[in-house]
Chains A and B, each alone.
Chain A
């Protein structure tokens, strides 16, 4: 069964550093998403991406965040200058294989720890 993959599984960084989280969505999917989950809290939507541009973003997704699909397979989330409160699990998801509905399939997540 095809699945969404994410790298790295864990990342530790110093406050103020840039991090790039990588995702390989399910091939043939057209819509891509990033969500995050702070420990013990709800899964929160960050951004959706379609046709090489952002479709929607939440209030969390400020100027420190950016997304990119640099090639035909990867989808990345960049945090330019990390803050302590960015520590969370970050989940990538994809959906939208033509004709198969809008179900979002999530990756295993990247646990980001900002020190």
Chain B
């Protein structure tokens, strides 16, 4: 499984757009990029998944350059409730496959 590197922490203010970049230089051809969010004392929650270019849903956007060696999770207009740890995971999208979590990025949104 490809190793991922992301910032340990980030600070932002309400209403700002937040971009969290994840490096995954050894991503394999059949790997997908998935982001999860975790609030304190809660289980991780799926945010978004992509393979290449751009993916957007009601919560976030995921930008993946052509070489796929990095990806950026974009959270538009964050609020205090977006304060959480965000994990970038890279691996094959197979049924039953284990998820390998790193340390994640602790996002703190301030008023």
Residues of A whose CB lies within 8 Å of any CB of B are 4, 30-31, 33, 35, 42-45, 48, 50, 55-56, 58, 89, 91, 93, 95-96, 101-109, 111
Complex A-B: 30 CB contacts under 8 Å = A4-B43, A30-B95, A33-B98, A35-B99, A42-B102, A42-B103, A43-B38, A43-B99, A44-B101, A45-B99, A45-B100, A48-B96, A48-B98, A50-B95, A56-B98, A89-B41, A91-B43, A91-B44, A95-B95, A95-B96, A101-B93, A102-B94, A102-B96, A103-B34, A103-B49, A108-B42, A108-B43, A109-B41, A109-B42, A109-B43
A72 CB to nearest chain B CB (Å): 19
Known contacts A42-B103, A111-B41: A105-B46 contact under CB 8 Å: yes
In whole angstroms, how far apart are the Cα atoms of A58 and B99 in the complex?
A: 11
Interface size on B, residues (CB 8 A): 22
Q: Kindly list 11 other residue pairs between chains A and B, CB separation below 8 angstroms, not including A42-B103, A96-B95.
A: A45-B100, A50-B96, A55-B96, A56-B98, A89-B41, A91-B43, A102-B94, A102-B95, A102-B97, A103-B46, A109-B41
Majority secondary structure of chain A interface residues (helix, strand, loop or mixed): strand
B76 CB to nearest chain A CB (Å): 22
In whole angstroms, how far apart are the Cα atoms of A89 and B41 in the complex?
A: 8
In whole angstroms, how far apart are the Cα atoms of A103 and B50 in the complex?
A: 12
